[in-house]
Amino acid sequence: MSTTKTTIPSFELFAKDPETQARAGRIQTTHGAIVTPVFMPVGTQGTVKTLAPNELEDIGAQIILANAYHLYIRPGIDIIAGLGGLHRFMGWQKPVLTDSGGYQVFSLARLREITDEGVRFHSHFDGREIFLTPEAVIKAQEDLGTDIAMIFDECPPHDASRSQVEEAVRRTIHWAKRAKKARQKRDQLLFGIIQGGQFLDLRRTSLEQTVEIGFDGYAIGGVSVGETKDAMERVVREIAPEMPVEKPRYLMGVGTPVDFFWAVESGIDLFDCVNPTRYGRNGSAFTRLGRLVVRNADYAKDDRPLDASCACYTCRNFSRAYLRHLFNCEEILGHRLVTYHNVYFFVSLVHQIREAIRNGTFGQLKKEFLSHYDDSLR
């Protein structure tokens, strides 16, 4: 009689930068190990836009992010579960993290009503009424079969008053307790989310009470929602080092090349952001020197790759002139090739950061990278 070995999810640290909070570790999941720090390409609806799973593997992506709210809307959790779960449905056999839909509570404000019981939505797709509760969101993510699930949280806008943020923190804690109680799967990591806006005392209250509930990892939510870069960095630099050392730390929705350095320096382990795909579709490429607008007329006869130091498929085979031509002709291949480059650039940069932490050269890498990188458009 054969038995199936069940992987027990876990997290371990194996390197730390002596000068900062930067650290390198490993998250073990049922679909494989993730070495951190790590960037997660965003596949909101079960697909990283314009890229196939084999291309993501070639790029070196270890884990992708999908959104339970959007998959709930279409095609429906029951359909995905009936077809074998999200991994099989989308043809991706490495780890997947699902966001709960808490960000949609923020971004779809005109379509929803929040109470302590849950959130009543009018679907952005077809207008039908949907009622999401912390318990329903946990069940949806368990039915999807993903490796890391997020609790349902309330994300206040960046300009919310203190009283509004206090209410969001209270409600998020209330929902976190219900989510933890509703949890059934022990082979799926469950992360709590820290809210509190720009109020550091509320952030610390949220952190303390979320840690008391007890989760497999912790995320900083409610940043990159319209506040200044300085304000976001201030919150992360203050709160990240106070998060449990023995648990993975996730900074939600943040990701530019510059952000990676100060956030890793603060102790962050996981990132996600739509920047690589969004900018790629709009013809803007991230390079070692900064962002480059492919449509720019200056590149009409430019035979150089997007980034001479990049080893991705796009940079090995195509010129700026050709990519500009594709965008000007509205050829979808242009979107694909620049998106491929951008995702490769983000994944490989965080890989370099991880290796630098292991080798004791993080500070050197940061200094060298930032001395050349210019975030203004060219």
| Cα distance between residue 8 and residue 301, in whole Å | 54
d(CA 137, CA 99): 10
Tally of helices (H runs) and strands (E runs) in the chain: 15, 16
DSSP element (H, E) containing 38: strand 38-41
Task: Return the CA Rg of the chain.
Answer: 21
In whole angstroms, how far apart are CA 174 and each of 8, 167, 193, 235?
A: 28, 10, 12, 23
Instruction: For residue 237, give the nearest of 251, 225, 226 by alpha carbon.
Output: 251
Q: Which of 99, 147, 269, 307 is catalytic?
A: 99
Q: Which of 147, 269, 272, 307 is catalytic?
A: 272
The tokens describing 376, both together, are 């203004």
Q: Is 204 exposed, middle or buried (0-12, 13-18, 19+ CB in 10 A)?
A: middle
Annotation says 99 is catalytic = yes
- Classify each residue of 157-172 as buried b or exposed e, where b means 16 or more C-beta atoms within 10 Å of its C-beta: bbebeeeebbbbbbbb
307 is catalytic: no
Catalytic residues: 99, 272
